[in-house]
Structure formats: structure tokens, C-alpha cells
Homo-oligomer: A and B are copies of this chain.
């Protein structure tokens, strides 16, 4: 278990959730994976302007916390896929709600809603 999570456990469940799901790109990553497994490169393009280094670290963190599963195929060129666990699928639902909340209260828009975008195909 990661230190950040262990520390949050001493405080309250909400902080545990923040320790696991907080940080740039994490929830968007989970959301993009809710359409099914994606390779590293596909994921990077789908998530947005995230560096490989950061995406890798966030994915490792999510893997440690039991949100995603990483599968390495012993091929050349290498192929690695990421998919959600049950915890990840549940978290994706919360991510969508947060996206809708921000559309409603922070940046009201008519088009380009998270509801319409959907996860990466």
C-alpha cells in the first residue's frame, strides 16, 4: 500500500479516496478505460496532453491501489494493455459524476458534454 493512502487512512475515508483518485489525469484515465482495455499509446492520446512519464506514474499508482490491471504481452514490439478492475469501474462512475458536476456549476456548456463524449472507443 502506498504511503499517501496509509496516511489518509488515519484521517477519513474521503481523504483515502482523494489519495487514490486525486492528481491530474488519474480520473480521466480511469474514465477513458471504462470503454475497455487500451494500450499505453492509445491511452496517452485519449487522455490528453499528458507526458509519458506522468501517465506511467499515475498508472503504476492506480495499479498498486487496485484500480487498473496492467498486462504485458511478450511480443516485439512490446504491447501493454490497461483495464479497469471492479473498483476501477465503480470509480469511473464517480468520475463521470464529477465531470457532469463541473459542467453544471463551473463551466456550463451546451455541446461537448462529458455525457456525449463517452470513453475512448
Using a Cβ–Cβ cut-off of 8 Å, how many residues does chain A contribute to the interface with B? 45
The stretch of A37-45, A74-82, A100-108 in contact with B is A100-108
Partner of A66, one of B12, B24, B105: B105
Is A35 at the interface (CB under 8 A from chain B)? no
Task: Give the residues in chain B near A52, CB-CB below 8 Å.
Answer: none
- Rounded to whole Å, the gap between the CB of A114 and the closest CB of chain B is 4
Cβ of B9 and Cβ of A99 under 8 Å apart? no
Instruction: Tell me, yes or no, whether A59 is within 8 Å of chain B by CB.
Output: no
Chain A 65-94 residues near chain B, CB threshold 8 A: 65-66, 86-87, 90-91, 94
Q: Give the contacts of A22-57 with B (CB-CB under 8 A).
A: 22-28, 31, 48-49
- A-side interface residues toward B, CB under 8 Å? 5, 9, 11-18, 20-28, 31, 48-49, 65-66, 86-87, 90-91, 94-107, 113-114, 117
Residues of chain B within 8 A (CB-CB) of A48 are 11-12, 15
Interface pair A101/B90, CB less than 8 Å apart: yes
A115 closest partner in B (C-beta): B13
Task: List 9 extra interface pairs beyond A14-B95, A91-B101, CB under 8 A.
Answer: A12-B48, A12-B99, A13-B99, A13-B102, A13-B103, A14-B98, A65-B106, A94-B94, A94-B97
